Amino acid sequence: MSEYENLQKGIRELDLGKIDSVQFPYRGRRTHITIETDEFTSICPKTGLPDFGKITVHYLPDRKIVELKSFKLYLHRYRNVGIFQENAVNKILDDLVRSCSPKFMTVIGEFKARGGLKTRIVARFEKVKS
């Protein structure tokens, strides 16, 4: 068992820092925002080897938008975290939604092939209409 494997149990509570948001002055306009980086790195909790991937975020803001510098710093904190790819994508989604409360958001993780297997994970959030 890898030293990282036990971390999966508390992954939802893992604190990787705050993602800041800023007020969006065009509330009410359907402005779709896409953020991409192909520099995502984390550690496989089974092997201890690095995982490399591309993270893409699509969202429709409500009152706030993601502040990009804080998001970049947040993503860099994954470099030494043992986390399954599926958990990483869902954790990123949870933390982004908590930061900016979008109308909807999709986070896509596309990870480089390891052992001949390439992985693509899609996690979605949609605000419940009240």
Write out the catalytic residue numbers: 44, 51
User: Cα–Cα distance between 30 and 32 in angstroms, integer?
Assistant: 6
Name the DSSP class of 127: P
Nearest to 11 by CA among 70, 69, 82: 82
User: Cα–Cα distance between 24 and 28 in angstroms, integer?
Assistant: 10
